[in-house]
Structure 1
Amino acid sequence: MSKKIILLADDDTDDTEMFCEALEEINENITCHCAENGNEAWKILNEITEKPQLIFLDLNMPVMNGWDCLKLVKNEPVYKDIPVIMISTSSHKNDIERASQLGSICYLVKPNSFNGLKQLLRVITSNLGTNLRETLINLKESDPDHIFICEGNQ
């Protein structure tokens, strides 16, 4: 089985630890690069030899927030095709619309349980690649309060 690479940018240490622990329990062939802000995420993206199959960006981070990092990723030809999922504790309609406009594939309200996160990540990481959008649409049907599909993004 080939290694899957994910990049996570989130300044909340507890959320990052829970995310990484969930990934480890799901599949030991997943490498998760973690950053505390968008600036660190951008630096990691430019330093790693293999591009991630998926990027998770928290909205509100110091130094560089998720919005500015998303803009950088989507404006760089080398990275623009990497799917990005915006994550936040809020489900404000304006944030969801902005995520869609800036090129995110999905907006995810952080699950408040470890098992909820683990189940979500299991399904997402098992479908990286061409089935990701369809998988997210199916997930939204089962969890409409936490998953929002960004329209017009592949």
Structure 2
Amino acid sequence: MNKQIILLADDDRDDIEMFCEALEEVNENIICECAANGDQAWRLLNEMNEKPQLIFLDINMPIANGWECLQLIKNDSRYKDIPVIMISTSSHKNDMDKASQLGSLGYFVKPNDFNDLKYTLNVITSNLGNGLREAVMNLQSKGSKYIFHL
């Protein structure tokens, strides 16, 4: 099977490590490209030979935050169709509304439990492409307290 690419932008090394470890355990065909802030994510996106199938952006990062990076992505014809899921430690409705207004597919509250993270990432990565929107909706409708379809 062909490798698929996910771009993760997060400034928390522990969160990146847990995310990548969970991804590796649920789908060995996923390559996770990581950036420490929105500016680095934008530069990495422009340098990639192949577009990622999905982008996860942490809201609060130094230099350029997730909101700024999301706006750059959604305003660029080369990248606007790449699904983006905003990630954060908080589940503030205002942040979810802002993510929706800026074009994010979903909002992912970082779980503390590794198995919860693995489960959510397994569902998401098993449905990259046309089934992603429905998979995120299904996670939310099944009572996930971590992911929200926008």
Quickly name the TM-score band, shorter chain normalised.
Answer: over 0.9
Match of 1:88 in 2: 88
Structure-2 separation of matches of 1:113 and 1:122 = 14
Matched, 1:56 2:56: yes
Backbone CA RMSD of aligned residues: 0.8
How far is the alpha carbon of 1:144 from its aligned partner? Answer: 4.2
The one-letter code matched in structure 2 to 1:65 is N
- Unpaired runs of at least 5, structure 1: none
Structure-1 separation of matches of 2:42 and 2:137 = 28
Structure-2 separation of matches of 1:148 and 1:119 = 15
Partner-residue secondary structure (3-state), 2:50: coil
Structure-2 separation of matches of 1:144 and 1:120 = 8
Match of 2:38 in 1: 38
Partner-residue secondary structure (3-state), 2:71: helix
Structure-2 separation of matches of 1:130 and 1:18 = 27
Partner-residue secondary structure (3-state), 2:90: coil
TM-score, normalised to structure 2, is: 0.98
Structure-2 separation of matches of 1:143 and 1:54 = 23
The one-letter code matched in structure 1 to 2:76 is E
How far is the alpha carbon of 1:111 from its aligned partner? Answer: 1.1
- Unpaired runs of at least 5, structure 2: none
Structure-2 separation of matches of 1:145 and 1:121 = 14
TM-score, normalised to structure 1, is: 0.95
Match of 1:126 in 2: 126
Deviation by residue 1:113-148 (Cα, 9 ceiling, x = unmatched): 111101110110000000101100100022343222
Structure-1 separation of matches of 2:77 and 2:97 = 23
Q: For 1:86-125, list aligned pairs within 5 A.
A: 86-125=86-125
Match of 2:9 in 1: 9
